[in-house]
Amino acid sequence: MSDEPKDSDLLAPFEIANITGEYRDYYKAKRNNFRFYIQEFTELWEQYQKLDAIWLRELRDIQSFTDETLLFPAVLFVNAHAKIRISVELAFAGCLQEARSLLRDAIECVAHGHHMLKDPELQRIWTEKDKLGGAKIFQKAFQESKKDNLFAGLGELHTQYGRLSETGSHPTLRSLANRVVFEDTLGTHAIKVNYTGVADTHAWATEVFTLLCTCSTMERAFFNDFELRLQLDDRLTEMRRDFQSYKETLRQTLIVRYNIQPPKQSRN
């Protein structure tokens, strides 16, 4: 980032009047990061906007129901979309750990909604979790053997769920990377905390692309679960086709731009 922006470049008058002290510096840093990443990585921001428009159209397409068994799963997909929006906003503000944590929550919403569509009885178990004895039944139906039960048919999302748990939600070394820096000066140990921002913009770009692909996988699960209705929307079909083409073109662009090598094949 070249010239340091003034407060008036980043904050509205109301914010300038009410946000003071060190918190203002933190708030400004997030705003400045948001501006920087959108300007420097317009392709990633465009990818997200295309995907968000698809989500919104799909949610409008299913907003009324005659089959009440679709209601609670639909609510969970709506909740997933709300979490995706905040997660992406955090990612573009340079708060990757928090973005990962919230995206993990979104995946769980999708998994629960998808799972509940398999059997109406699962919806009753889900809605009665807080009743006497309900927690134990819920645990068996939704928590045990998650990979083969809750995430059945959602293998890619299960993989990302685990990755986001270790790099965002859980207090692990991987989730603290780029957040905490230890400094030793003349025998004195100090901790520097980076609340926002990343040092390596290349790593940021590839990570955000991965996050957006995960958001795309969640959208695909949503579409597949409500395909009988959504497939009738010709404009939605065009939007999804355009997004897939854009995503794969951007994937190749990033591979070339950052000289990303394919993963090494493991040897038995």
Pairwise CA distance, residues 139 & 127, whole Å: 13
> According to the model, what pLDDT value does residue 267 have?
59
Asked whether residue 96 is assigned to any structural domain, the reply reads yes
Confidence (pLDDT) at 1: 45
Write out the chain's pLDDT in tens, 268 residues: 456 788 999 999 999 999 999 999 999 999 999 999 999 999 999 999 999 999 999 999 998 877 888 889 999 999 999 999 999 999 999 999 999 999 999 999 999 999 999 998 999 999 999 999 999 999 999 999 999 999 999 999 999 999 999 988 878 877 777 777 777 777 787 777 788 878 789 999 999 999 999 999 999 999 999 999 999 999 999 999 999 999 999 999 999 999 998 877 655 5
Q: Is residue 264 part of a domain?
A: no
Question: Is residue 266 included in any domain, yes or no?
Answer: no
- DSSP letter at 200 equals -
The verdict on residue 4 lying in a domain is no
pLDDT value of residue 268: 52
The total number of structural domains in the chain stands at 1
Q: Copy the structure tokens of residue 85.
A: 């929006």
Contact 95, 30 (CB under 8 A): yes
Q: Is 32 part of a structural domain of the chain?
A: yes
Residue 248 placed within a domain: yes
5 part of a folded domain = no
User: Does the residue 174 lie in any domain?
Assistant: yes
Cα–Cα distances in Å, from 252 out to 51, 157, 175, 179, 200?
Answer: 18, 22, 28, 30, 20
Predicted local distance difference test score (pLDDT) of residue 141: 95
Containing structural domain, residue 180: 22-257
Calpha distance 215→92 (Å, rounded): 15
**Residues 77, 109: contact at Cβ < 8 Å?**
yes
